[in-house]
Chains A and B, each alone.
Chain A
């Protein structure tokens, strides 16, 4: 498939069609060569995020969510001539504000990291250096991209800490990461990521390691800051609740590929892929009778070395038998089901709507 055709698949609502998305990923492939074989962590993924919009990427562990974000940030070590050093083989295109990143030198991409695109990691305790005070780590992130004095950078860091809701920032700035609570650490991590007003913020499971009460605060904080900076946000999570809370668009990933892609409204109200049904059905809810079983997805995610041929989800899919063997042989492409909503599934439209209406909708 040509690049142009792939870009057409990245469907957007009509009013956005004329403007260029801030981030555009086209046919991204990230493969790792290991002793056991080629691991296809991301295999032909395309999506786009506009300024001021939030894209939620959901999927089980190992579906390629984090690998995708590291590829955008240019954080995969590339293969070197030495065999002993593993590296990622990347192909496809990543456009940041119209500029293709994979073809740029690592040094050039380094200059963008932290400045135009920043990242928040899952576990703020291990993601912050335990040997340096929190403030120093923020100052460092700011000064690498801005030629200011240490004093000015420190003042900026205190400002940031205050803005992300850390009490007494001028005192807490000299504390070490282990002296912060989990929620405060994540706030500090966010302050660090925001130090250079990035236009793209990637949050990789930002609330997974936090208490439920703190999760909500952090999500609110990310939303407020996004509005303030009008930045693009990619929210990586396996928690659909978090997606419902924050995301404008949702990309459902499975085995390194996109299964379904659309606006949050479309995905939650009219999910089209059996895998998405499974994800939605796996959420425990209190307004449901306990005797009703959750719509759990059977089995485990496939090995990324031996990805099932055809649709990677077919061994776990309850409806794989309904299209005369196509699921096992033919890889489904993303096709539109309605404007701005695409799905990679062999089920025919009629079949899908029937299954959704009669079997799934009432159980969700």
Chain B
């Protein structure tokens, strides 16, 4: 078991390394293959009026003339050891983990990521709790009342939930609840939890519900399918034969087996969203990791893109690891070796 965890951790580190190489290559190598010179790359980071000389100097300063492996080495070295950057206005020290400076705003990337992360984490924690509870409850009731009005209605709503994109449901919800009824916060607000938990929840309520709607639909369908399957198992008949009340039979014996796939997907979904719930954050103007990445891509700001990609990758790899380890707990028949 211990050896298994160590091995999985080493794998995770290896995966992160590969991820960084691939991301780096996509943004630094592919443009070169496409024929871009260091100057044309650098031209994006200086004003339109810049002279050729300025562009050349910028390209030199950003290290665009170095061979790509050297550029990668400098970048990865900074992550572990920190680096010093000279942007012409004096040397700036960037302590480890240094993900470099934004080419455009010249702000260090790592502190910005730290700053943005609480928004995304708050959004994902709240939404995931809502969708987990709502999705599983609806799924269980649907399975037990298969074919009834409730089941058909819930599955209809679920289909809508899966099909409608966030930027549609989110905008409708904003227009109706925030601007017409004025019962939820308008977008763009975020109050840190430690400052005021009530306001924190108020500011995030609508994004939570909108994001959870999308996911609970999927979880309701998954739970329903799982329940329909486990309730026909022999051990359910045994549980009834013991004289257990139907409630215990369903919740303790039926749901337990149906939850295994649900919890697996849950771990992966949360991991994926922690790297940035791009559409939700963009729709509700929340300054989380997703919007950070989106803005960086629009601006072509390489260090920011690299930073946010690495963080997102880290969360995905971490959640995979947790799901794999949790499997041994969720299903006792699985041996981790």
A residues sitting closer than 8 Å to B (CB atoms) are 73, 75, 82-85, 110-115, 118-119, 121, 123, 126-133, 140-141, 144-145, 176, 178, 192
- In B236-278, the 8 Å CB interface with A consists of 237-245, 248, 253, 256-257
Q: Is B235 an interface residue (CB 8 A)?
A: yes
Q: Is B195 an interface residue (CB 8 A)?
A: no
| CA distance in complex: A156, B245 (Å) | 22
Number of interface residues of B (CB under 8 A): 22
Name the CB-closest residue of B to A142. B242
The interface residues of chain A, by DSSP majority, are classed as: loop
| CA distance in complex: A193, B234 (Å) | 15
Q: How far is the CB of A175 from chain B (nearest CB, A)?
A: 10
Q: Which residues of B contact A112 (CB under 8 A)?
A: 243
Of A84, A113, A130, A133, the contact of B242 (CB 8 Å cutoff): A113
Q: Is B84 an interface residue (CB 8 A)?
A: no
Given A85-B146, A129-B253, A129-B256, decide whether A121 and B240 contact each other with a Cβ distance below 8 A. no
**A131 and B332 contacting across the interface, CB-CB below 8 Å:** yes
Q: Is B148 an interface residue (CB 8 A)?
A: yes
- In B11-31, the 8 Å CB interface with A consists of none
| CA distance in complex: A168, B148 (Å) | 50
Q: Which residues of A contact B244 (CB under 8 A)?
A: 110, 114, 140, 144
Q: How far is the CB of B128 from chain A (nearest CB, A)?
A: 23
Name the CB-closest residue of A to B244. A144
**B237 and A127 contacting across the interface, CB-CB below 8 Å:** yes
Q: Is B333 an interface residue (CB 8 A)?
A: yes
**A110 and B241 contacting across the interface, CB-CB below 8 Å:** no
Q: How far is the CB of B259 from chain A (nearest CB, A)?
A: 9
**B243 and A75 contacting across the interface, CB-CB below 8 Å:** no
Q: Which residues of B contact A178 (CB under 8 A)?
A: 332-333
Q: How far is the CB of B326 from chain A (nearest CB, A)?
A: 14
Q: Which residues of A contact B147 (CB under 8 A)?
A: 82-85
**A110 and B235 contacting across the interface, CB-CB below 8 Å:** no
Q: Is B295 an interface residue (CB 8 A)?
A: no
Given A82-B148, A126-B233, decide whether A121 and B238 contact each other with a Cβ distance below 8 A. yes
**A130 and B241 contacting across the interface, CB-CB below 8 Å:** no
Q: Which residues of B contact A145 (CB under 8 A)?
A: 243
Given A82-B147, A84-B147, A85-B146, decide whether A115 and B243 contact each other with a Cβ distance below 8 A. yes
Given A121-B237, A123-B234, A126-B233, decide whether A114 and B243 contact each other with a Cβ distance below 8 A. yes
Closest 7 CB pairs of A and B: A84-B147, A114-B243, A113-B243, A126-B234, A114-B242, A141-B242, A129-B235
**B237 and A75 contacting across the interface, CB-CB below 8 Å:** yes
| CA distance in complex: A305, B239 (Å) | 30
| CA distance in complex: A207, B243 (Å) | 23
Q: Is B331 an interface residue (CB 8 A)?
A: yes
**A131 and B256 contacting across the interface, CB-CB below 8 Å:** yes
| CA distance in complex: A176, B235 (Å) | 14
| CA distance in complex: A126, B236 (Å) | 10
**B146 and A84 contacting across the interface, CB-CB below 8 Å:** yes
- In B211-248, the 8 Å CB interface with A consists of 233-235, 237-245, 248
Q: How far is the CB of A219 from chain B (nearest CB, A)?
A: 21
- In B134-168, the 8 Å CB interface with A consists of 146-148
| CA distance in complex: A127, B235 (Å) | 4
Q: A126-B234, A126-B235, A127-B234 are in contact. List 8 more A-B contacts (CB 8 A).
A: A113-B243, A114-B244, A129-B238, A129-B239, A130-B235, A130-B257, A133-B332, A144-B243
Q: Which residues of A contact B237 (CB under 8 A)?
A: 75, 121, 127
Q: How far is the CB of A97 from chain B (nearest CB, A)?
A: 16
Name the CB-closest residue of A to B259. A131
Max chain A C-beta neighbours (<10 A), residue from B148, B235, B240, B256: B235
- In B71-93, the 8 Å CB interface with A consists of none
Q: Which residues of B contact A84 (CB under 8 A)?
A: 146-147
